[in-house]
Structures are given as structure tokens and as C-alpha cells.
Amino acid sequence: MQLKEPSSMDECIYFSNRTLEGGKGKVKAWVYRKLCPKCGNASMGKPVESGQVKIRAKEYTCPSCNFTEEKIAHEESLALEASFTCPHCGKQGEGSALYKRKTFLGVPSYVVECPHCRGKIPVTKKMKAPKKKGIKEEADDVE
């Protein structure tokens, strides 16, 4: 499966390019805009009011036919695509997942699976580090 990277940010609802786990891996993830289900001519986007895009809108609209769809229903029908270097096995790969955040190691993130080692690769919110599982920090006992 060969993924096509976006040539412009205007094609995307979401885009992220980051380094994973202290430089062990990299991930580039994006979500393309969906074509209008009613007319099929234009890509759905957030509504534009007086020349400005409404940032915290609760719906997506079609600019050509003004069809409106709820934000939650619209975003659940989208797919996140990712190109990555796996931090577990070091191989390059591509994958896709639902555009819905799940809790992974205590942090809300989109989770993509490596096709080579089946390791889970989280695309977290900005500046969030996953919690380490099973690592206990022991204090030095001084007698």
C-alpha cells in the first residue's frame, strides 16, 4: 500500500511531523479532507464567516453546496495515514488508523501499527510523552 503524501496543507485537516522516543523513530501523519457526500465537487471544511475560518466550529460545511455535517460524525469517518520509522524494529513503513484519539500509555493519541513487528506507534498531542510501563525508580539506600 503506497500512501500519497499531501502536497499542500490545504488538502489536510490534520498534519504532524515528529520524532519518537528520544530519536529512535520518526512519524509523519496526516488526514485528508473528505469530499462532500452530497455534491462530490468540493472538500468539506470548517465554515468561513466574514472571510475568516471559524476555528472552534462544531460542524463542517461544503463551500459549493453549503451541506453541513456534525464535527463528531465527520471526523469519525476520516482515516489517519502515516509514514514512519518504527522505534521498535527500526524499519520504515506506512500505515493508517481511524482519526480518533485513544488513550495509549496514559496519553491521548492516534495509534498506528507497524506492519513488520506489530509494535504500536503513538502520534500524541504536542509535547506529551507517554508514561513508561513497568519501570520502577528506586532510591539509593544509604546506610
Instruction: Look at residue 3 and tell me if it is in a domain.
Output: no
121, part of any domain: yes
Number of domains in the chain: 2
Question: Is pTM, for the whole model, over 0.75?
Answer: yes
If you ran DSSP here, which 8-state letter would residue 136 be given?
-
Read off the pLDDT of each residue in 56-65 and give the average, rounded to a whole number: 88
Residues 19-26, mean pLDDT to the nearest whole number: 82
pLDDT at 79: 92
Per-residue pLDDT at 127 = 66
> HSE of 42 in the Cβ direction (CA atoms, 13 Å)?
13
Taking the C-alpha atoms of residue 45 and residue 60, their distance in angstroms, rounded to an integer, is 5
The cell for 142 is 544509604
For β-strands 25-32 and 79-85, DSSP reports them as antiparallel
48 bridge partner residues: 53
Give residue 121's domain range.
Answer: 16-33+78-129
Same domain, 21 and 90: yes
**Is the residue at 94 inside a domain?**
yes
Task: Confirm whether 141 is domain-assigned.
Answer: no
Looking at residue 107, its pLDDT comes to 86
Q: Which residue has the higher pLDDT, 128 or 112?
A: 112
Q: What is the pLDDT of residue 1?
A: 54
Mean pLDDT rounded to a whole number for the chain? 83
What average pLDDT does the segment 88-117 reach? 89
Q: Verify that 73 and 44 share a domain, yes or no.
A: yes
Would you say residue 4 lies in a domain? no
Q: What is the mean pLDDT of residues 55-61?
A: 89
Q: What is the DSSP letter of 137?
A: P
For residues 70-97, average pLDDT: 90
Q: Name beta bridge partners: 121.
A: 112
Residue 68 lies in a domain: yes
* CA–CA gap between residue 27 and residue 92 (Å, rounded): 10
Coil, helix or strand for 104?
strand
